[in-house]
């Protein structure tokens, strides 16, 4: 599905101007109320300029929190997943729920699409093409006024008294800046990166890749084996087949792909907003249940792949080994059967351990994980490695008073899901998660500056706002009223 070829650039410019006017009308012009702090460069640094990072920066500005800086390692236009790791043709949400606009209609996807292509085109749009959503996010960045420093990578977070010292790299150079708060909007790969199973650990690197980073065109004419049967595996299969792969064999450990969605009962407003407030035992029971009911691939992704005659699905087909064979690889299944391929693609998901995030190396052991809070079965070890977060997505100390600075790091990456109950950073999460994080950051900054604010509140004020000459002529003379008898 594609949109009309040429968006109406002039209409989009008018819409962006309307958005800024709307912000002014509701008094959210970004006036900074946070007092400057000596020796600190930023109030907040947001790492990641995909839809989540942009929305966070937009929300912070609307809340009057100034000196917010956004960095992203990718070049401009390549932030997030939509022009990179994401391989689906359409979004998995129907039409699109409220997103990064945070309640401002003139910055919504619908307003953008109608301005670009017309109201009739939007009404006829059944689902949102992935690249169309990417175009919208790029426009949102510009129209919202969020500035981003591209090509800047966070290499290290160094805790210091009352601040975080951030070590960056850009264009081969290193530099440091300081911030009071750090927001990590690093997406699905932001807590340790793609998961690489042991079964391929001894293979040369040129024989396999993860679905997070591969070039379908480079595998044209090749025999590709995909390990995994969730959404990313089927999306990768579709992309490979459309790019001309010779054959694609997809392997699932399960005996069938058909499953009910364990998370379907979660899809109501109260759960989105308040799941984080449940006791730890309740949250853990729900998330362990979700994990054991492994997610199924979206029907559209399956239909896309099975449309090709050179695609095959292997069920109940776990891998025992993968070894070099000729110029390719030989895969041995648990059953003993073998299959030869030129290349392996891993649809095996992502690690979810904030301790594995390289910039946290200085203090990684101090970060609490779910395994520190609940009893964990062997089947749930991977889930339990996820960071245990506070209500505003802040990292929590493993030991009390050992690392209080962790409360100034807000982890809006995907693996926050274990604490919040739903994926963090996807489109539907933004309307719920960003306001909660923004409110907490504002509260923390306000309370930390308590002395300055008290001095401001209690400072003497003059009477210039109501000069006496404004009402002097109406003051009654002292003897004009008769004394009461």
- pLDDT tens-digit map of 66-120: 999 999 999 999 998 899 888 999 998 878 878 999 999 999 999 999 999 999 9
**CATH number, residue 436:** 3.50.50.60
| Same domain assignment for residues 237 and 341 | yes
Residue 473 lies in a domain: no
Query: Taking a C-beta distance cutoff of 8 angstroms, is the pair 57, 70 a contact?
Result: yes
Helix (H, G, I), strand (E, B) or coil at 193: coil
The string of pLDDT tens digits covering residues 244-295 is: 999 999 999 888 886 656 667 777 888 888 989 999 999 999 888 887 776 7
What's the mean pLDDT in 391-404? Answer: 95
- Give the contacts of 343 (CB within 8 A, at least 6 positions apart): 207, 208, 209, 219, 222, 223, 224, 225, 328, 329
The string of pLDDT tens digits covering residues 170-211 is: 999 999 999 999 999 998 888 888 999 999 988 999 999 999
| Same domain assignment for residues 36 and 179 | yes
Calpha distance 145→36 (Å, rounded)? 22
Query: Taking a C-beta distance cutoff of 8 angstroms, is the pair 271, 421 a contact?
Result: yes
| Same domain assignment for residues 338 and 210 | yes
Half-sphere exposure at residue 133, Cβ-oriented, CA atoms within 13 angstroms: 30
What's the mean pLDDT in 464-479? Answer: 84
Pairing of strands 173-184, 409-411: parallel
Residue 362 lies in a domain: no
Q: What is the pLDDT of residue 259?
A: 63
| Same domain assignment for residues 251 and 107 | no
* Cα distances (Å, whole numbers) of residue 467 to 461, 462, 473: 13, 10, 12
Residue 285 lies in a domain: no
| Same domain assignment for residues 47 and 87 | yes
| Same domain assignment for residues 316 and 167 | no
Half-sphere exposure at residue 23, Cβ-oriented, CA atoms within 13 angstroms: 21
| Same domain assignment for residues 208 and 319 | yes
Residue 355 lies in a domain: no
The string of pLDDT tens digits covering residues 332-362 is: 999 999 999 999 999 998 998 999 999 999 9
The string of pLDDT tens digits covering residues 46-71 is: 999 999 999 999 999 999 999 999 99
| Same domain assignment for residues 218 and 339 | yes
Q: Among 326, 346, 366, which residue terminates a domain?
A: 346
| Same domain assignment for residues 303 and 331 | yes
| Same domain assignment for residues 21 and 147 | yes
* Structural domains of the chain, count: 2
- Give the contacts of 121 (CB within 8 A, at least 6 positions apart): 3, 4, 113, 114
Residue 400 lies in a domain: no
| Same domain assignment for residues 321 and 434 | no
Determine if the pTM surpasses 0.85.
yes
Query: Taking a C-beta distance cutoff of 8 angstroms, is the pair 220, 227 a contact?
Result: no
Domain containing 247 equals 198-259+294-346
Calpha distance 467→472 (Å, rounded)? 9
Pairing of strands 311-314, 319-325: unpaired
Q: Is the pLDDT of residue 482 over 70?
A: no
What's the mean pLDDT in 139-162? Answer: 96
- Give the contacts of 466 (CB within 8 A, at least 6 positions apart): none
Q: What is the pLDDT of residue 189?
A: 82
Q: What is the pLDDT of residue 290?
A: 81
| Same domain assignment for residues 105 and 234 | no
Which has the higher per-residue pLDDT, 125 or 84? 125
| % the chain with pLDDT above 90 | 73
How does DSSP classify residue 432? H
């Amino acid at each position: 599905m594609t949109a009309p070829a040429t968006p109406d650039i002039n209409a989009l410019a008018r819409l962006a101007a309307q958005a800024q006017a709307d912000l002014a009308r509701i008094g959210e012009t970004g006036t900074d109320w946070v007092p400057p702090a000596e020796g600190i460069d930023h109030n907040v640094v947001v790492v990641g300029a995909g839809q989540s990072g942009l929305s966070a920066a937009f929300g912070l500005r609307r809340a009057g929190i100034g000196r917010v800086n956004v960095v992203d390692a990718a070049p401009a236009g390549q932030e997030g997943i939509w022009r990179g790791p994401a391989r689906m043709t359409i979004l998995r949400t129907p039409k699109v729920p409220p997103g990064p606009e945070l309640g401002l209609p003139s910055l919504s996807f619908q307003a953008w699409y109608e301005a670009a292509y017309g109201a009739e085109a939007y009404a006829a749009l059944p689902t949102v093409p992935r690249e169309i959503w990417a175009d919208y996010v790029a426009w949102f960045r510009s129209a919202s006024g969020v500035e981003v420093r591209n090509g800047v990578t966070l290499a290290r977070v160094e805790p210091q008294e009352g601040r975080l010292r951030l070590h960056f790299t850009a264009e081969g150079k290193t530099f440091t800046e300081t911030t009071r708060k750090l927001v990590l909007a690093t997406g699905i790969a932001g807590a340790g990166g793609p998961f690489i199973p042991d079964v391929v650990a001894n293979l040369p690197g040129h024989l396999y890749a993860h679905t997070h980073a591969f070039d379908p065109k480079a595998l044209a004419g090749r025999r590709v084996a995909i390990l995994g049967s969730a959404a990313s595996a089927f999306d990768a299969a579709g992309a490979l087949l459309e790019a001309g792969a010779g054959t694609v064999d997809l392997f699932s450990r399960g005996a069938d792909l058909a499953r009910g969605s364990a998370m379907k009962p979660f899809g109501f407003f109260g759960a989105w907003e308040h799941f984080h407030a449940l006791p730890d035992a309740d949250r853990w029971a729900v998330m362990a249940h979700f994990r054991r009911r492994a997610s199924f691939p979206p029907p559209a992704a399956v239909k896309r792949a099975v449309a090709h005659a050179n695609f095959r699905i292997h069920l109940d087909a776990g891998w025992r080994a993968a070894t070099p064979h000729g110029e390719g690889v030989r895969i041995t299944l648990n059953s003993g059967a073998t299959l030869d391929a030129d290349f392996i693609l891993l649809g095996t998901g992502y690690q979810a351990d904030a301790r594995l995030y390289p910039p946290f190396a200085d203090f990684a052991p101090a970060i609490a994980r779910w395994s520190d809070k609940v009893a964990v079965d062997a089947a749930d070890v991977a889930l339990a490695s996820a960071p245990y977060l506070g209500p505003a997505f802040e990292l929590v100390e493993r030991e009390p008073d050992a690392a209080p600075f962790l409360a100034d790091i807000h982890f809006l990456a995907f693996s926050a899901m274990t604490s919040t109950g739903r994926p963090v950073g996807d489109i539907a999460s933004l309307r719920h998660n960003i306001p909660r994080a923004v409110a907490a950051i504002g509260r923390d900054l306000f309370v930390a500056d308590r002395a300055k604010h008290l001095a401001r509140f209690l400072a003497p004020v003059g009477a210039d706002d109501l000069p006496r000459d404004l009402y002097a002529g109406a003051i009654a003379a002292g003897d004009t009223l008769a004394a009461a008898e």
